[in-house]
Structure 1
């Protein structure tokens, strides 16, 4: 095709009218959803059975705030145990040592294969199996002996139950992140003489974080709500505090709304933090995309 034909074709394309595509289905779906939302808001505002005044009265009640505090610290402690131990278990699963890898696999199998509720009750009643907890070398000397009834309190049992269970799930998340890093990265680092520990900390983990962060954020939000299970061992967290109040006042719906509002607020804050973390660890992808686009533009200019 000659240059004259190309110019003529481009001229015809420029002269063609631009017609906007009308998405009638999207407009209808959007209008329908807005109508349903408006109906729900109107019902919630005008229905006196929601008892919004009771909700505001109990929103900052001392008992509710105490339960909220227990929920927050338990979430932080359980996730700290889960992320730390889960990373160790994931590294063990990736080890070439069969004893380490199989031990890590057995840990994940045991804690993911039994209900969390059972694990919580087990840790709460651990003194029935081990009245005295001995710390020392297996088949060797004992350095310290602890009374289980004294040291395994309801708070310790809740943290152990949630944290050890979370570690089993976090180990799979971290392992998937480690496996997502190309093996050539490790081979190149080994060729430069870097140690295995330094390769893991400086090369593998920073790249794996892009894969690890999103599901870890979901686990954190899930843990916030999973803490409600500890009410089975009489630990007064947010939901249990609301239950104690409405068991005496019989104002079930308003107190459940109070607990839901606090859960929604904290979940929103955690989601915003997760967004910024993902953006931070995704900067390398963005820089790579921009670099590729610049290279392609320069290639096009060279061809012209």
Structure 2
């Protein structure tokens, strides 16, 4: 299984900044230590042409050239710097690489990504470019060069915040189906309707969440089956529904989040849909708790696809 990261392009954020930038390097280190037989790969940055499959040329130019307005930078949540541009390009590049690997092998993981608040002409909520949207469009374009039929995409967004940018980008597109479970009263406060949206009240715990997930997966699959099965899924496996998250407002336990991942992976396997997994959000009071939750997602992906092989012993136990 291929695992990708852009953690070496971390940003030096101002003291007290709410975004937990150190988690990405810690996640990479723990994944490398636990599964040394699965090397973590640094993907190349996305090009302007790849970004332009989703984003407007004017917005790409403002990001690239450092001409974002002060208001645009506040909405993104990061101050502009050349390193911010490079990190954002590499986040998209890693999800592109994971999507290609998933199509070839069934599953691949990007240890960041899930930047679902970015829309075509602006960034928002710590998201500069929309990595899953760009990767989806590029995989569709590459598929179209080989085949006459369209590659259908399924976005399963289980970050606690609704993927408003992704919903806006793909709204009205029958080749991309978006499913989102998110906090009803959480950011973004103006939601953009996707194909299946499930608004969850503050304090939702394991049982209610998992019941809502089961129903949403079946509803989402049934809606797509009318047009044709998806050929690729993007799973945004946010850790922020966890009860210890500073921004989540839901109450899932660590086991509840693990069961969430198991059910998503089991459904995708049953329906034979390859998946590129991104980590999306996670803002725990204890950053190491967030990292361990995301390590768990990686382990469950490995076990789901390789659990019957000789390599599974390493996947399940680690060193």
Same fold (TM over 0.5): no
The TM-score normalised by the length of structure 2 is 0.23
Instruction: Between the two structures, name the one with larger relative contact order (CA 8 Å, sep ≥ 6).
Output: 1
Higher helix share: 1
The TM-score normalised by the length of structure 1 is 0.23
